[in-house]
C-alpha cells in the first residue's frame, strides 16, 4: 500500500467524468487499498479515485459507523429522500469549509471488491459522504453545491476532511 498525492483545486482531473470499471483486478484492489491509506493519512471520511489522479468510478468511505469501511466500484445513487443543509469540506480544497444542501437519505448500488452487487441505505454522515464522493466521479465538486463558505481553515497540519 502507498499514500498517493491528493489532487487539489484547479487540477483538470477533478472536473472529468470517470470511466466505468469493467473488471475487478488485483491492480484495482491495490488502488482501493492505496486510496484507503491516503484517506486515513489525510484524516478524511471519503476519497474518490479522481482525487488521486485516476479517472475510474471508485470511491472509499469510512463514516465510522455500523457500515464500516466501504470500497465501492461503479457506485450509483438509486434513491434519494429529504434535504438537509450540512457543513462540508474536501481533501481537494483543504482550506475551505462550506454549507451544502444534500439529500438526507440515499440508497446506493455498487459492486463490492468481490464483484458482487451490493446496496447501501444511508443517512447522516454516510449519506453525505457517499453523495460527495459520487459527485467527484462526475466532475462535480462540493464548491459547486456550496450555499456559502463558513471559514477558511487556518491550522493546516493535514489536508482536511473529505
pLDDT tens for the chain, 162 residues long, are 899 999 999 999 999 999 999 999 999 999 999 999 999 999 999 999 999 999 999 999 999 999 999 999 999 999 999 999 999 999 999 999 999 999 999 999 999 999 999 999 999 999 999 999 999 999 999 999 999 998 665 554 433 446
Query: How far apart are the C-alpha atoms of 50 and 64, rounded to whole Å?
Result: 23
Q: Which residues are catalytic?
A: 133
Q: What pLDDT does residue 23 have?
A: 97
Which residues have C-beta within 8 Å of that of residue 78, sequence separation ≥ 6?
Answer: 107, 108, 109, 119
Q: What pLDDT does residue 158 have?
A: 39
Q: Which of 76, 80, 81, 96 is nearest to 144 (CA)?
A: 96
Q: What pLDDT does residue 1 have?
A: 81
Q: What pLDDT does residue 151 have?
A: 66
Q: Give all strands (DSSP E) within 112-135, no chain letters.
A: 117-123
- The answer to whether 58 and 46 are in contact (CB under 8 A) is no
Query: 12-152, superfamily in CATH?
Result: Peptide deformylase (3.90.45.10)
CA separation, residue 152 to residues 94, 97, 128 (Å): 9, 6, 20
CA separation, residue 121 to residues 9, 32, 36, 84, 136 (Å): 30, 22, 21, 16, 20
Amino acid at each position: 500500500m502507498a499514500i498517493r498525492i491528493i489532487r487539489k483545486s484547479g487540477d483538470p482531473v477533478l472536473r472529468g467524468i470517470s470511466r466505468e470499471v469493467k473488471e475487478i483486478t488485483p491492480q484495482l484492489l491495490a488502488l482501493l487499498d492505496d486510496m484507503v491509506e491516503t484517506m486515513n493519512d489525510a484524516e478524511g471520511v471519503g476519497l474518490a479515485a479522481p482525487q488521486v489522479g485516476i479517472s475510474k468510478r471508485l470511491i472509499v468511505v469510512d463514516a465510522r459507523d455500523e457500515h464500516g469501511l466501504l470500497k465501492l466500484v461503479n457506485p450509483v445513487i438509486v434513491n434519494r429522500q429529504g434535504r438537509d443543509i450540512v457543513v462540508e469540506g474536501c481533501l481537494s480544497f483543504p482550506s475551505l469549509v462550506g454549507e451544502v444542501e444534500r439529500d438526507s437519505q440515499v440508497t446506493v448500488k455498487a459492486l463490492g471488491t468481490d464483484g458482487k452487487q451490493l446496496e447501501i441505505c444511508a443517512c447522516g454522515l454516510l449519506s453525505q459522504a457517499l453523495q460527495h464522493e459520487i459527485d467527484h466521479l462526475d466532475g462535480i465538486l462540493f464548491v459547486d453545491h456550496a450555499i456559502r463558505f463558513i471559514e477558511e481553515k487556518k491550522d493546516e497540519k493535514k489536508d482536511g476532511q473529505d
